[in-house]
Amino acid sequence: MSGRNEAIARLKDGGFIKQRQEEYFAVRVRVVAGNLEAEQLPKVAEIAKRYGRGYVSLTVRQGIEIPWVRREDLEACKAELVAADLAVAGCGPRVRAIVGCKGSVCPYGLVDTQELVKDWDTRFFSISGFPHKFKIGLAGCPNCCSKPQFNDVGLMARVEPGLDAERCNGCGLCVKACGEAAIDMEDKLPVRDARRCLGCGDCVRVCPRDAWLPARTGLSLFVGGKFGRHPRYGRRLAEFIPAERAFEAIEAVMEYYRQDGRRGERLWDTTERAGLAGLNERLAAVGGEPSLPDAGPMATVADIGKAGREVATTSVGCGQRQDKPSDTENPSAENPSAEKPGGKNPVPADDTAGVPVLDLRGELCPYTFIRTMIALEDVPSGSRLFVLLDDGQPIRDVPRSLKGAGHEVQRITPEGPTFRLLVKKDGAPLK
């Protein structure tokens, strides 16, 4: 690396991002939990006018950048930001800005996300010494607005509802409110199916008699997620970590990454190469409980097929479901004449032995499509994949989106309230 490039790299580590335009930089400003004090806003505007071109840009990770700052003005710009109780945010192999949703004020929030992010920012922001960048994200409920599954460490709040039967009047409002069909009425009392429950707490919120109460609340832990050229959906490793101990889980992942990671390697790649045994040992001391076995793009596609054949309980998106093992040896046994839509080119019922299964029942859009695309990325062109989807938006949108991406939906088979798709990677789209 030349001396000039080394200097630019050092500036980038310090939060000064080189623009395409010669001698101009964007100054990245640290914004904790996505919040600025009202009195800081006029100062940021003043600095942008003085050193930039009078505007600021919002970043994906809830920060701001002041573009068009000349190299000779960088230090003066930084000094004025510091005087306004702001700081420049670093890049490089260090902890990046921590993203958190507005769960502290959002009606769906299950934990105080803003205070947690502030605490983690104080503990971890800009810590360096990692093989690559290290991103942390937090969602206050299973809606996952902040997309924690696509961070190196992602945490998502969940609640386990418990019923006080003496308070319940059998109104059934919780049954109607549950978007996952996880509650049914039996003998005039609601019964929750833990396999379908996402832990969103809607039943607790709507109950007019406070019969549904939070039995426990905690955080699910995802490890190794990332976007970029090769996106990965983080592996779900733990459930119901106490919010006040979540920083210990983050520290455990950091220790694992520093010890087992190689220079230039993202955390996902470290887990693929080094395995999870060392990390699981560290997490065991934090509290919470282990997650159920991985399925979908949280594991390799080869593992998906194995999970579908051999594992009765699988992790599905932000929730859990217990099903019978998938019959991948002959999934069309009851319908040997299954055909592609349109009645053309029948697919033989006996040619799908060993085709892996991606179970996305209970998953929300758009993650159904994203996770299917990630799974297809891991298999050769021409390979096939079974995808299990719920009725409604998933079955309406995913086949159309897959065909638009150049894949072939060879078969759509109803299975009770769900559907089984047979997808061929890079096949000719259906007409």
Decide if 360 contacts 371 (C-beta within 8 A): yes
CA 12 to chain centre: 27
The residues pairing with 191 across neighbouring beta strands, listed in sequence order, are 184
Peptide bond between residue 366 and the one before it cis (omega within 30 degrees of 0): yes
Q: Residue 247, class by beta-carbon neighbours within 10 Å (0-12 exposed, 13-18 middle, 19+ buried)?
A: middle
The residue from 91, 106, 145, 365 that is catalytic is 365
Helices 367-377 and 393-404: angle between axes, nearest 10 degrees? 40
Segment (H or E) for 316:
strand 313-316
Segment (H or E) for 199:
none
Alpha-carbon distance of 65 to 15, in angstroms, equals: 9
- Give, rounded to a whole angstrom, the gap between the first and last alpha carbons of the chain: 52
Examine the residue annotation and report whether 145 is marked as an active-site residue of this protein: no
24 phi/psi in degrees, rounded to 5: -115, 145
Question: What is the three-class DSSP state of 121?
Answer: helix
Look at the block and give the residue holding tokens 């290290």.
Answer: 134
Decide if 59 contacts 28 (C-beta within 8 A): yes
Query: Sign of torsion, CA 5 7 13 18?
Result: negative
For residue 290, what are its two tokens?
A: 């282990």
Alpha-carbon distance of 221 to 239, in angstroms, equals: 6
Q: Which residues are catalytic?
A: 365
